[in-house]
Amino acid sequence: MGGKGKIYTLAEASQHNTSKDCWLVIHGKVYNVTKFLEDHPGGDEVLLSSTGKDATDDFEDVGHSSTAKAMMDEFFVGEIDSSTVPTETKYTPPKQPHYEQDKTSEFVIKLLQFLVPLLILGLAVGIHFYTKSA
C-alpha cells in the first residue's frame, strides 16, 4: 500500500475491489475504505459496487453530510492520475432514419389536419346524395 500523496492510476485503484481490500476514487482522491465497510450507514455493498470507477457521482448523489466528508480524510491514501479515468460517456441513441419535421412547416400540417377530415366528410356527403338519387 502506498503512502500519503501517492499518485495512482485508475487500474491500480480498481484492483482494490473486495471486502478485504476496498478503495474508492472520489473527487480525484483515492480512499482505502476497507476498515469503514462494516460501519458504513448505507452498507458495504454500496461501497463495493462503486469500486473500479470514478465514484464521485455515486458519492454526491447520496448527499453525504459534512461530518461524513470530514471522516474521509482518515481513509485518504493518494491522488488519482486523472488521465487514467475515462471521460464520462454520454448516451447516444442508435442511428435511425430520421423524420425531418423541419421540412414540413407547421402551417401545412395544421392545414392538412383541417382539410383531410373536410374532404372525407365531403366525399361521404357526395356518396350519400349520389346513392339516394340513383
Tens digit of pLDDT for each residue in 33-68? 999 999 999 999 999 999 999 999 999 998 899 999
Q: Is the pTM of this model over 0.75?
A: no
How far apart (Å, rounded) are the C-alpha atoms in residues 63 and 121? 61
The pLDDT value recorded for residue 1 is: 45
Pairing of strands 76-80, 29-32: antiparallel
Q: Cβ–Cβ contacts within 10 Å for residue 119, how many?
A: 11
The pLDDT value recorded for residue 102 is: 58
More confident residue, 126 or 18: 18
Give the position of cell 383531410: 116
Q: Taking a C-beta distance cutoff of 8 angstroms, is the pair 2, 77 a contact?
A: yes
Residue 43 host element (H or E): none
Tens digit of pLDDT for each residue in 71-107? 999 999 999 998 998 876 666 666 666 555 556 677 7
How far apart (Å, rounded) are the C-alpha atoms in residues 75 and 26? 12
Backbone φ, ψ for residue 79 (5° rounding): -105, 160
How many Cα atoms are found within 13 Å in the side-chain-facing hemisphere of 56?
11
The pLDDT value recorded for residue 6 is: 93
Q: Taking a C-beta distance cutoff of 8 angstroms, is the pair 86, 60 a contact?
A: no
Q: Taking a C-beta distance cutoff of 8 angstroms, is the pair 14, 4 a contact?
A: no
